[in-house]
């Protein structure tokens, strides 16, 4: 989570002085009329607080703060503002300079936060400098009242009330950074039913507005942040902050953070311009860089649960900072392109991280592509059309024009074959590649391409003709609560679910699963399976057909009561099939239903994943929870002796040949695997890394025979990395003649 504010505020206690500031009736009427005009103006912009008609573009200090502890100073913010202006990105829409946690030093005589004079000697002058550069300024704060202001108990500006008069009784934590159940938290909750509470918020926002700020990030907002304790509930705070912005007569963007609970979406949409849907994209010293692929790529899974929640009138899904300005962020060039593509198709606010003085040529090229920026600013957030390891997202602009983003989440090159019929039309004309600025011509029926590892394509096209459904196509829904439950699997009520029920308890044991025993299709082939599930944060479902190999479905989301859908290909036999869902070794989402559709002619999966935690773990090797690992688990304690191995006993490929094998591993410092294929000698693979909690990938060639193979990972003398998974394409890089 974002770090809380510094709790070592210096300075003497503020003197207490009861003060009543009266206002004339004329002044009150002026304020009321101004607020009304402001409100009507915000309606015209189709967003609250006169801001947010489009997702904003800019920069945030927080990512650089995670790697440079003394970074947040007025002098450094001036440098970053000047660097943004000099970079050339400003003409492409990047305008915001946002200060994150740590600017505050103490409180004024009204209990309002004021800057640390050592680091921000003149915050108004800083904002004026930002404005003179043609930019906008953002500031950070959190719900509740901090301890020093509570102890000082000053009068609230314009009222006879004091800070302690507006606190919830009994005293309790005021935001997600607090500890539930404590009666003396550092951040105290405000009771907005008490007189003076709204006036206090008004006074804080008025102070920020007087400094000239254009954006407020309100952090630690809950319900959310994976917090299930409603004793910390900031819904009233969000409403009060939005009300305070409206009365300030200044259009101020309000973002609320982080990992918000989608069950309260109507509040977030009504009173804010954007909401963070996931935890931080920053490593925060869990790796050697500011971010990495594991953290960035999980936005693909989280976004599915929120994809219908954003737009011009609804506000925007905030994916956190887009850290693509330089290779020092921890992402490869292809990964930076992919992240930018996802933020663009999602219409997510694009605020950069890192040092703007160190932008490299690739970063500038990515961020100055006006055709890609136009996707982000279109006001038509994309929807996931196909999921899995090669997901496809698309948005319809309403005039027959579409944006289509195709991704490869594997580390090796993968073919993506996407039929236009999935979007309801037959052919596409004027297909343009927005990254290469190339017109590709017309494409009948669909688009196919081999996409490099962790890369993406972004297209703009015009639809032609309606896609006729095949006469033999089926669409059959199967409710989870009507399936066969095993172990801890249990039916629960779910008002928003199909059938009003769902199945939970699908985790942490090989016998805890739900199985659909009678999935019937008319012919053998590849069908599309829509899976409706629910979770807060990263979880994984594993499914298998008729007792075959497990397929991993990594998911995310913001609710255990609002299902979200993802669609993947599944190969079925003619007649009756069984499909089992669960997670043998880690946490699974709840399951609402599955829908099987198509006529068996869908494109089959192009790769297969084998989870290390579900392989044969020998000796002292074990499986452990891993939040951002595939399958939500890893195999650890590998090596150190010949017995501590991971054995994949049934790695199956269609033909003999050389295959690219992706290995997702975790280590901090150099470690080595010895990898043996089909009982052969162990080949040493030396690896390095900076995290035991965030996996990274490498790809090596392996010789496999047609049919079943064994692949063993170990280290007979030294310690090996932890192992997340291996993934193998179903098409070899080269073939060999089988003896």
Model pLDDT for residues 357-382, shown as the tens digit of each residue: 999 999 999 999 999 999 999 999 99
User: Of 20-24, 47-51, 496-500, 538-542, where does mean pLDDT reach its minimum?
Assistant: 20-24
217 and 248 inside one domain? yes
CA angle 437, 441, 446 (to 5 degrees): 105
d(CA 476, CA 415) in angstroms, rounded, equals: 28
The reply to whether 28 falls in a domain is no
Which residue, of 313, 347, 379, is where some domain finishes? 379
Neighbours of 253 (CB within 10 A): 27
The reply to whether 36 falls in a domain is no
**High-pLDDT (> 70) share of the chain, %:** 92
**Structure-model confidence comparison of residues 11 and 634, the more confident one:** 634
366 and 397 inside one domain? no
CATH number of the domain to which 369 belongs: 3.20.20.70
DSSP 145-200: EEHHHHHH-PBPTTSS-BGGGGB-SS--B-STTS-TT-SS-SEEPB-TTSTTHHHH
DSSP 65-127: HTT-TT--SHHHHHHHHHHHHHHT-GGGTEEEEE--TT-EEEE-TTS-EEE-TTT-S-HHHHH
- Whether pLDDT at 435 is above 60: yes
Nearest-CA neighbor of 327 among 339, 345, 343? 339
144 and 196 inside one domain? yes
146 and 257 inside one domain? yes
pLDDT band at 50 (very low <50, low <70, confident <90, very high): confident
CATH number of the domain to which 625 belongs: 2.60.120.260
d(CA 452, CA 458) in angstroms, rounded, equals: 14
User: Which residues, at least 6 apart from 40, have a Cβ–Cβ distance to it below 8 Å?
Assistant: none
Mean pLDDT across 681-700: 97
643 and 540 inside one domain? no
Token duo for residue 268: 């977030």
Neighbours of 269 (CB within 10 A): 19
Q: Collapsing DSSP states into helix, strand and coil, what is residue 441?
A: strand
Q: Give the DSSP H or E segment for 367.
A: helix 361-367
560 and 485 inside one domain? yes
- Whether pLDDT at 723 is above 80: yes
Q: Collapsing DSSP states into helix, strand and coil, what is residue 669?
A: coil
Q: Contact at 8 Å (CB) between 731 and 606?
A: yes
The reply to whether 593 falls in a domain is yes
**Structure-model confidence comparison of residues 232 and 699, the more confident one:** 699
User: Which residues, at least 6 apart from 28, have a Cβ–Cβ distance to it below 8 Å?
Assistant: none
- Count: domains in the chain: 4
Mean pLDDT across 216-245: 87
pLDDT at 736: 74
User: Of 235-239, 284-288, 616-620, where does mean pLDDT reach its minimum?
Assistant: 284-288
pLDDT at 229: 57
User: Of 23-37, 187-201, 719-733, where does mean pLDDT reach its minimum?
Assistant: 23-37
Token duo for residue 494: 């779910």
CATH number of the domain to which 438 belongs: 2.60.40.1180
d(CA 120, CA 692) in angstroms, rounded, equals: 37
Mean pLDDT across 609-616: 97
Half-sphere exposure of 441 (CA within 13 A, CB side): 2
**Structure-model confidence comparison of residues 180 and 255, the more confident one:** 255
Q: How far is CA 114 from the centre of its chain?
A: 32
113 and 64 inside one domain? yes
Nearest-CA neighbor of 480 among 451, 456, 455, 505? 505
- Whether pLDDT at 621 is above 60: yes
Q: Contact at 8 Å (CB) between 584 and 552?
A: no
Q: Contact at 8 Å (CB) between 201 and 244?
A: yes
Domain that holds residue 235: 48-379
Residue with tokens 């695997």: 673
pLDDT at 18: 28
458 and 485 inside one domain? no
458 and 488 inside one domain? no
The reply to whether 160 falls in a domain is yes
Let me know how long the chain is.
Answer: 739
pLDDT at 24: 32
Which residue, of 585, 605, 625, is where some domain finishes? 605
Cis peptide before 33 (omega within 30 of 0): no
d(CA 68, CA 45) in angstroms, rounded, equals: 38
pLDDT band at 226 (very low <50, low <70, confident <90, very high): low
Mean pLDDT across 66-88: 97
User: Of 78-87, 90-99, 181-190, 265-274, where does mean pLDDT reach its minimum?
Assistant: 181-190
598 and 657 inside one domain? no
The reply to whether 196 falls in a domain is yes
Q: Contact at 8 Å (CB) between 153 and 162?
A: yes
User: Which residues, at least 6 apart from 482, have a Cβ–Cβ distance to it below 8 Å?
Assistant: 499
The reply to whether 633 falls in a domain is yes
pLDDT at 471: 75
pLDDT band at 17 (very low <50, low <70, confident <90, very high): very low
pLDDT band at 49 (very low <50, low <70, confident <90, very high): confident
The reply to whether 338 falls in a domain is yes
The reply to whether 179 falls in a domain is yes
| Mean pLDDT across the chain | 91
> Taking the model in full, what pTM does it have?
0.93
pLDDT at 186: 83
d(CA 677, CA 653) in angstroms, rounded, equals: 13
d(CA 247, CA 37) in angstroms, rounded, equals: 10
Strands (E), 316-452: 316-318, 350-352, 383-386, 392-396, 401-407, 414-419, 425-433, 438-444, 446-451
Mean pLDDT across 391-401: 97
532 and 403 inside one domain? no
289 and 368 inside one domain? yes
161-175 residues labelled b (16+ CB within 10 A) or e (exposed): bbbbbbbbeeebbbb
Token duo for residue 244: 């305070």
- Whether pLDDT at 268 is above 70: yes
pLDDT at 112: 98
Per DSSP bridges, beta strands 145-146 and 187-188 are: antiparallel
């Amino acid at each position: 989570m974002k770090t809380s504010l510094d709790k070592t505020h210096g300075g003497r206690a503020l003197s207490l002085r009861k003060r009543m500031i009266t206002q004339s009736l004329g002044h009150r009427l002026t304020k009321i009329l101004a607020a009304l005009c402001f409100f009507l103006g915000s309606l015209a912009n189709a967003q609250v607080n006169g801001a947010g008609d489009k997702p904003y573009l800019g920069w945030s200090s927080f990512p650089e703060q995670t790697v440079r502890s003394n970074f947040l100073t007025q002098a450094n913010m001036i440098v970053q503002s000047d660097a943004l202006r000099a970079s050339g990105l400003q003409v492409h829409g990047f305008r915001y300079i946002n200060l994150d946690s740590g600017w505050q030093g103490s409180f004024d005589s009204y209990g309002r936060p004021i800057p640390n004079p050592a680091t921000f000697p003149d915050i108004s002058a800083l904002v004026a400098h930002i404005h003179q550069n043609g930019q906008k300024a953002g500031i950070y704060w959190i719900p509740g009242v901090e301890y020093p202001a509570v102890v000082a108990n000053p009068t609230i500006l314009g009222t006879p009330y004091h800070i302690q008069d507006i606190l919830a009784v009994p005293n309790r934590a005021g935001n997600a950074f607090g500890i539930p159940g404590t009666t003396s938290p550092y951040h105290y909750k405000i009771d907005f039913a008490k007189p003076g509470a709204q006036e206090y918020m008004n006074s804080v926002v008025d102070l920020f507005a007087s400094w000239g700020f254009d954006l407020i990030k309100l952090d630690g907002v809950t319900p959310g942040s994976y917090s299930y304790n409603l004793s910390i509930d900031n819904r009233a705070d969000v409403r009060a902050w939005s009300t305070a912005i409206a009365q300030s007569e200044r259009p101020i963007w309000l973002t609320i953070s982080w990992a918000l609970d989608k069950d309260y979406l109507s509040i977030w949409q009504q009173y804010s311009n954007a909401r963070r849907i996931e935890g931080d994209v920053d490593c925060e010293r869990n790796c050697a860089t500011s971010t990495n692929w594991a953290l960035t790529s999980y936005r693909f899974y989280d976004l599915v649960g929120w994809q219908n929640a954003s737009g011009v009138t609804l506000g925007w899904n905030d994916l956190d900072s887009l850290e693509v300005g330089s290779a020092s962020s921890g992402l490869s060039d292809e990964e930076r392109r992919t992240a930018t593509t996802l933020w663009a198709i999602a219409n997510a606010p694009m605020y950069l991280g890192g040092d703007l003085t160190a932008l490299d040529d690739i970063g500038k090229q990515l961020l100055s592509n006006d055709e890609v920026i136009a996707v982000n600013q279109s006001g038509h957030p994309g929807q996931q059309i196909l999921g899995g390891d090669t997901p496809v997202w698309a948005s319809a602009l309403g005039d027959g024009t579409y944006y289509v983003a195709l991704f490869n989440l594997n580390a090796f090159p993968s073919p993506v074959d996407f039929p236009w019929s999935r979007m309801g039309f037959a052919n596409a004309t004027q297909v343009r590649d927005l990254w290469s600025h190339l017109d590709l011509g017309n494409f009948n029926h669909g688009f196919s391409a081999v996409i490099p590892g962790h890369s993406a394509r972004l297209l703009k096209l015009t639809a032609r003709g309606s896609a006729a459904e095949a006469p033999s196509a089926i669409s059959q829904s199967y409710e989870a609560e009507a399936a066969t439950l095993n172990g801890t699997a249990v039916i629960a009520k779910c008002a928003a679910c199909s059938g009003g029920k769902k199945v939970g308890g699908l985790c942490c044991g090989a016998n805890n699963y739900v199985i659909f025993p009678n999935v019937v299709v008319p012919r053998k082939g590849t069908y599309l399976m829509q899976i409706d599930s629910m979770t807060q944060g990263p979880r994984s479902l594993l499914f298998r057909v008729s007792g075959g190999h497990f397929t991993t479905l990594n998911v995310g989301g913001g609710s255990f009561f609002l299902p979200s859908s993802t669609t993947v290909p599944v190969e079925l036999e003619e007649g009756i099939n069984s499909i089992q869902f669960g997670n043998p070794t880690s946490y699974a989402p709840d399951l609402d239903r599955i829908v099987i559709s198509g006529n068996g002619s869908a494109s089959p999966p192009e790769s297969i994943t084998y989870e290390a935690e579900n392989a044969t773990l020998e000796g002292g090797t074990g499986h452990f929870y891993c939040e951002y690992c595939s399958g939500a688990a890893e195999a650890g304690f590998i090596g150190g002796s010949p017995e501590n191995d991971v054995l994949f006993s049934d790695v199956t490929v269609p033909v003999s040949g050389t295959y690219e094998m992706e290995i997702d591993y975790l280590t901090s410092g150099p470690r080595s695997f010895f990898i043996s294929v089909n009982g052969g000698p162990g080949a040493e693979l030396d690896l390095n890394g900076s995290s035991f909690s965030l996996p990274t990938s490498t790809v090596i060639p392996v010789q496999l025979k047609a049919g079943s193979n064994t692949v063993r990972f170990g280290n007979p003398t030294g310690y090996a990395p932890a192992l997340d998974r291996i993934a193998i394409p179903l098409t070899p890089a080269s073939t060999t003649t089988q003896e």
